[in-house]
Every structure is written in C-alpha cells, then in structure tokens.
Amino acid sequence: MAETKDIKIRPAVERDVPVILGFVKRLAAYEKAAPHEVEATEDLLVQNLFGPHPYAHVLLASVNSNNNEEEEQVAGFALYFFNFSTWKGRPGLYLEDLFVDSEFRGLGIGKRLLIQLAAVAKERECGRMEWVVLDWNEPAIKFYESLGAQKMSEWIINRVAGQALSDLAEM
C-alpha cells in the first residue's frame, strides 16, 4: 500500500472520462458482473456527464505520495446525482457509485469522498444522501454504518430495464 501524504478530491472534467470508465469497469468486476454488462462507453459518458444537460456528477480522489503533481494517481471516484423527496420537499443526493482501487483502500479515500459528498448535499440544501450497497459487501456495510448510515431494510429496489422498459413505454 502506498504511503500517502496527500489526498485531493476534485470534480471530474471531460478529459477524465477514460479514467471514469476505467473505474466503472473495475467496480463492475468487483461486484462480480460479467464484462459485457457494462454498456457505458466514453462517448456516452461525455454526453451524459458533460453534455448540455448533465445527468450526474463525478468526484475524483487523487493521492500523491511525493508532493509532486506529476506523480498524482487517481485512486477513487464517486458518481452522484440529485433526486427529490416529496416528503421532505427538498432535493436529495443519490450516490450511484463509490469505488477506490484496491491498492489505495484503507487510506481514508472513501471516507474523504463521502465527506465531500455530504458537504455538497448540505450546500445544495439536500434533505438526505442515499445509496445502495450489495448485501454481501460486509466491509462496505460496516464502513457506511461507522459513518452514521442507516440501513433501510423495509424498502425494496424496483427496476425496469431493457425490453421491459420498452414494453412499459408502449402500453
């Protein structure tokens, strides 16, 4: 594990798209998905993250072990977007993905990303911040609980995708 002297969190810019796509693919592998399940491409990410109507935002975490900007390594990312709570009458921040490369885990990078996301949520007057975690990912579950996250076990995620989405739209 690298000895880290500095962790920087910054918003992603369009030139970071190849790095973002790499994180998406490594996260999918970590979550035991087949490689073909990642349909995202650089073009889709450019269009949907940096186009005229961005649907989501990305924070990147970099580490620098030598205080030399040229030696910074992007170590993790968080992709998020805003939703809305009718009960709270306020926006919410939804964390879609959080991933730190294995060689940088345990350095506080995930925590720093979540702290920055909480600051964004407060700045935008969000009523809450939410995300899901796979039920087998015990290290992540314990980590989130240590930061004050509460399991919402009474809620079940529903999804309509692919042909089912097309069929529903045509009803």
30 tagged catalytic: no
Q: Which of 30, 55, 94, 144 is catalytic?
A: 144
Pairs from 102-107 (Cβ < 8 Å, separation ≥ 24): 103/1, 103/2, 103/75, 104/1, 104/2, 104/4, 104/63, 104/73, 104/75, 104/76, 105/1, 106/1, 107/1, 107/2, 107/4, 107/7, 107/63, 107/75
Residue for token pair 């790499």: 22
Catalytically annotated residues = 144
